């Protein structure tokens, strides 16, 4: 088992029929690539500060696309979960999702404290999750529970806490609608991951789910959360751009 993947295997990874986990890695790599192209092209068509939000959406799926190329060849060669690539991807992309929250709330008073608080809890969630999946695998339920504290802190901030208050006080229905959708991604979309995690042997759902289902579930979660989240940001940026052009035309 070799964690270093050479260029040839990166693009010539073999996929056997019946390898459903492998299928989802291939689909994931292409979906992330396509979404990245889409977000970068749309970035050139939105106004002002919305370009930053679109850039971050494209970076999230772009970073994921590169990792998916690595993960799919790692899986194809070893039929082993690419845990390290997975968590490196998450440790870069989940904080960028926190940046998206900060960027859309900045005009309504979001401070750096909000950004760092969300990033802190996301890293807490991922580092403890990683420990439960690797070093302390026999105790994965305990580490999963610790990780959930980080998840709950972000969920609280977005649904009831300071982030939610900034959105409510914004008096901007378009922003509020997008913020609400992003909140649903945290509540429902992010909840997909702990389900995959519980498929680990010895995990809470390991009686029902085979160990391979973990990667399938994580891959579904990534597609929903990285692409879906980016599309919400895109639709907000596009609406805001249209509103600015309409008011400029009316003036």
Is there a contact between 71 and 9 (Cβ–Cβ < 8 Å)? Answer: no
Nearer to ligand RET, 15 or 191 (CB): 191
Binding status of residue 227 toward ligand RET by CB under 6 A: no
Using the rule CB under 6 A, which residue among 86, 225, 227, 232 binds ligand RET? 225
CA angle 53, 67, 230 (to 5 degrees): 25
Residue among 82, 144, 203, 230 that touches ligand RET (CB under 6 A): 144
HSE, CB side, 13 Å, CA atoms: give it for residue 106: 12
**Sign of the alpha-carbon dihedral angle for 68, 72, 78, 81:** positive
From 11-19, 27-35, 67-75, 140-148, span contacting ligand RET (CB under 6 A)? 140-148
User: Which of helix, strand or coil describes residue 242?
Assistant: helix
Closest distance to ligand RET from the beta carbon of 77 (Å) = 23
Asked if 190 touches ligand RET (CB under 6 A), the answer is yes
Question: Under rule CB under 6 A, which residues in 34-93 are in contact with ligand RET?
Answer: 90, 93
Give the helix ranges, DSSP H, for the chain: 7-11, 20-43, 50-78, 83-106, 112-133, 140-159, 162-168, 173-184, 192-197, 213-222, 229-250
Total residues in contact with ligand RET, by rule CB under 6 A: 17
Q: Which of 210, 189, 204 is nearest to 81 (CA)?
A: 210
Closer residue to ligand RET in complex, CB, 53/147: 147
Residues 16-35: x where in contact with ligand RET by CB under 6 A, - otherwise, as a string: --------------------
Write down the least CB distance from residue 220 to ligand RET, Å.
11
Q: Which of residues 106-125 bind ligand RET (CB under 6 A)?
A: 125
Chain residues binding ligand RET by CB under 6 A are 90, 93-94, 125-126, 129, 144, 147-148, 151, 190, 193-194, 197, 222, 225-226
């Amino acid at each position: 088992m070799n964690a270093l993947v050479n260029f040839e295997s990166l693009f010539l990874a073999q996929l056997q029929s019946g390898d459903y986990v492998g299928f989802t890695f291939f689909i994931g790599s292409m979906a992330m690539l396509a979404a990245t192209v889409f977000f970068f092209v749309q970035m050139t068509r939105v106004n002002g500060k919305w370009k930053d939000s679109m850039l971050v959406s494209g970076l999230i799926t772009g970073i994921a696309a590169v990792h998916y190329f690595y993960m799919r060849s790692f899986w194809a060669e070893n039929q082993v979960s690419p845990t390290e690539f997975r968590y490196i991807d998450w440790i870069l992309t989940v904080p960028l999702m926190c940046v998206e929250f900060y960027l859309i709330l900045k005009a309504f008073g979001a401070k750096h404290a909000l950004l760092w608080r969300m990033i802190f809890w996301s890293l807490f969630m991922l580092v403890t999750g990683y420990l439960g999946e690797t070093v302390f695998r026999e105790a994965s339920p305990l580490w999963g529970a610790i990780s959930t504290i980080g998840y709950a802190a972000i969920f609280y901030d977005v649904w009831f806490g300071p982030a939610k208050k900034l959105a409510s006080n914004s008096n901007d229905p378009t922003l509020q609608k997008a913020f609400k959708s992003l909140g649903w991604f945290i509540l429902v979309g992010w909840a997909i991951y702990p389900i995959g995690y519980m498929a680990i042997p010895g995990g809470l759902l390991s009686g029902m789910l085979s160990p391979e289902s973990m990667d399938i579930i994580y891959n579904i979660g990534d597609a929903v959360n990285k692409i879906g989240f980016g599309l919400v940001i895109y639709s907000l940026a596009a609406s805001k751009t249209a509103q600015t052009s309409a008011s400029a035309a009316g003036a």
